Amino acid sequence: MIDLSIYTVFLLPAGLNLVVILLLWLYYSNRTEGLEKPVAEGRLYRCSQCGYVYIETFGRPGTECPRCGAYNDAIKR
């Protein structure tokens, strides 16, 4: 007859499953930190002529598009 202990039947598979879950949790928690982009300070603008989206840090209510030079008003954030 095969001699199986409680450790071999129950505790070893449960421990291996917990280690796998811990490793997956560590991988995905560290993976998402690098994907987030920092929030830029300033006003958000979308050009009415070419559709270019840009952020201007000056305190003006309107500015020129860096791509085509058209004058644009800030978009509400």
Residue 64: pLDDT band (50, 70, 90) is confident
Residue with more model confidence, 21 or 7:
21
Indicate if the pLDDT at residue 77 is higher than 60.
no
User: 49 and 32 in one domain?
Assistant: no
User: 32 and 48 in one domain?
Assistant: no
State the Cα–Cα distance between residues 52 and 70, nearest whole angstrom.
Answer: 10
User: 1 and 30 in one domain?
Assistant: yes
**Tens of pLDDT, residues 23-59:** 999 988 887 666 666 666 778 888 989 999 888 877 6
Indicate if the pLDDT at residue 17 is higher than 90.
yes
Contact 54, 62 (CB under 8 A): no
State the Cα–Cα distance between residues 65 and 6, nearest whole angstrom.
Answer: 72
Residue 36, pLDDT score: 67
User: 52 and 25 in one domain?
Assistant: no
User: 23 and 5 in one domain?
Assistant: yes
State the Cα–Cα distance between residues 52 and 56, nearest whole angstrom.
Answer: 13
- Host domain of residue 60: 43-75
